[in-house]
Amino acid sequence: MFLNIEKANLHYLKNLTLRSSSQIDFDKWTHEEDLSDEARDINDDFPGLYEKMQAEELGWPSKRGVSGESLKKVYLFLYNLWQFVGFLYLTVVTCTRYLKNGQDSMAGTYAAVGWMMRLCLITQLLEVLHPMVGYTRGPVLTSLLQVCFR
């Protein structure tokens, strides 16, 4: 079944579809807001929005004080920095001993870096606590297995 409806006044439609002699220059198209002489600032229209978005994106503390979320980020940063420095120390000392003494350095390597190895591995037990207290996302069992099998 087909339904065909015709308009009574077609002259409006013809004016829209027929090509007129004057072309529209969209580069010169203006809006009434563009005609105002005053410059508008987005911060006047939405006060505090930029600061709020920047604080959420970068994790800055709020103006009211240091938030718990920012303290978590600082703690996790310091924890990861500690692990990085500890294992960097282990790597540098082990490689330096090997380059200096060759195969003979292997016998005394644990005596030289064992204390730092134990300290780094004991500190890694905190990774099991991080998901328990909500500092990181993920299951506790996965963190436990990762730490135990290192």
> Which three-class secondary structure string do you get for 42-93?
HHHHCCCHHHHHHHHHHCCCECCECCHHHHHHHHHHHHHHHHHHHHHHHHHH
Find residue 62's DSSP bridge partners: 65
126-135, long-range: CB within 8 Å, 24+ apart, which pairs?
Answer: 126/79, 130/76, 135/72, 135/75, 135/76
Domain containing 112 equals: 68-148
20 within domain boundaries: no
Domains identified in the chain, total number: 1
Distance, CA of 6 to CA of 8 (rounded, Å):
7
Distance, CA of 99 to CA of 93 (rounded, Å):
10
Q: pTM score, two decimals?
A: 0.53
- Which segment of 9-13, 50-54, 79-83, 128-132 scores lowest on mean pLDDT? 9-13
pLDDT in tens, 81-130: 999 999 999 999 999 999 998 888 888 888 999 999 999 989 998 988 88
15 within domain boundaries: no
